[in-house]
Structure 1
Amino acid sequence: MENLTKISSTNHVASTSPLLKLPVELRDRIFRFVVGDQFIHVKWTHRGGCGSADPTLECDIGLRYAICVATVSENEVYEEFRSGYNNIPPKDSPEYYTSTCEERHKECRLWDKYGNTPVIEEKREKKALDLSMLGASRQIYEEANLLLWSTNTFSFEDPTSFEKFMSKLTFLQKRKLTKMHISIDWLSYRYEQWERVLKIRLLEKLKGLKTVHLCFDQDLVRLASWPDESILLEEDTSSTGLFASRQILVLDYPQLEPFGALQMLHLQHATVVIADKTGDAEQSTSRWSVHKQREVAEKLRNKLLEPEGVKVFMAEYNIKKEMREKGRGVRKVGAGRRAERTEH
């Protein structure tokens, strides 16, 4: 697939093009069929590894794209997550089993499932976006380019791919994005890395983003030590009047906190799925039950869809910033006292 972030138009005169003589509504349907309404996996590949588990592989450094070939949509996945699964692996239990994002998208990988070699579009024999038409004329470019960014869902599985993709988009391209999917594997990426890339100044530019799908693939046996208590502070409504009868969430599972920043987007639709990678009922004593997974996922989803999300997030952000600054102050005082004792 071509590099989506480097598409440009030409100045060809297209006044005689049969395509441009069609009604706007019909042209829109044609353009959507060719370049839109797809779920696109975005991956930043390095010289070594090519984004796979095999560090001996070599491929070109840069962004790569693959059309999703999963048989179910993220909305369908969310509904099944909420209602329960009909097909559960023999070794697992309905009390704990949740389908993982990795399992669902295993055939979409940019390398083969064994990590042996990069899988290019031609070898994958999957449908790819044909972007050549965007260079036919300026009018076609302007009409189709809008649909490219506004009707496709862009999917990221690591913070580096997200950061590299966003850094290559123009201001207008960022504004046109409407749908995004993020899959998170906490065994591969620490949550601080997502906190680093989900910056306020970037999210403020994604004004058109209205739909977000989040899927957390967790080995909940390893993460059984997550805190079960949240720190909740009552907001002083007498001075702000913004959060009457509302509690502000300051800390609720650190691994999920970076994604609270998505409140900045004024989302209209969101799905959150927390999946369990353990897959062994014998380890159930350390796993979250499906009920627990749903409870935590829905709490984050409601947070993302909060009508006054920007105000709530900024209040939380300022509180956490103040807490961090106080923490640094305490460390500095402690270091100073240790230095004084050393001198004496």
Structure 2
Amino acid sequence: MFDTNVTRIQDFFIIGFPGLSSELHKPVSGLLFVLFLAIAGGNVFILVFVKYERSLHKPTYLIFCHLALTDLGFGTATLPKIISKYWLDDSIISFYGCFVQMYFVHFLATAHSFILMVMALDRFIAVFAPLRYASLFTNTTVSVLCGVSWFMPASWMIGIVFDALILPFCNSNIIIQCYCDHTAITALGCENVREVQVTALGLAMFSLMVPLGFIVFSYFFIIVAVMRISSSEGRTKSLSTCMPQLIITFLFYMPRCFVYLANNVGFTFSVPVRIVVVMLYSLLPAAFNPIIYCFKTKDIKENLKKKLFIRRINISTKT
């Protein structure tokens, strides 16, 4: 039965943005290419800069590197194919290639969610146990926690993808999305679709709500603790250390929660709008996060200023 079902579909066709006129294909591909360059360039820069700047070898920046890896991986897994669709008119993705892409799409998003929970724990300990922070939250601790954040979704996502892979696909091979995701693929199945989708939804809610619940709990008590600080200067300083993490977390969770709540209260999006919204909240944070790391994080910003200052001095000396 497995072999029979697989041979019915050899390839999938990615629609991308439904209804997009052919005149806009080149501009859209160009825009997506610029977005890909921003994601790749920004996140590679963060990884390299933290790697070679020894003063940044701290737990907070190690977490930033893990987040940069997930953002870089997600952009690399999703954007090249949709760019080639509009740039080269190549809409075909192989059957197994589609499932490989689906695996990385959901694996990387889930790993990102759990790493955000590690980041919230980092700030929680920094605020409530500042004197013991260096001993409680070491680079080794971060490596272990982030390693678990990578390993858990990597293992259970294999089962999710395999359940979708063995579905009988006998209706259509047209994916109305910009990349292969679980919902778009399983919607093409002929039988046992509901069971597979419910299982995947349960794990998706677990990977989204458990970290989000911990993050909300952590930052609630952090903000309460900061508001109790008597001096306004102390409150500002404490909040500033949490601000990058808050912005990054907001960009990841808020659009997803909005779409989920909108669907549950009966507010539905048209298919083209839904696809645009999904692309925006999936990819724009990956492009903006490196900017937040650089301009909202004191240590990175100061190190960048020093590097630029030294470079200006060297240039002026040579001239």
Pairwise same-fold verdict (TM > 0.5): no
Structure showing greater radius of gyration is 1
TM-score of the superposition, structure 1-length normalised? 0.25
Larger strand proportion, structure 1 or 2? 1
Higher relative contact order (CA 8 A, sep 6+): 2
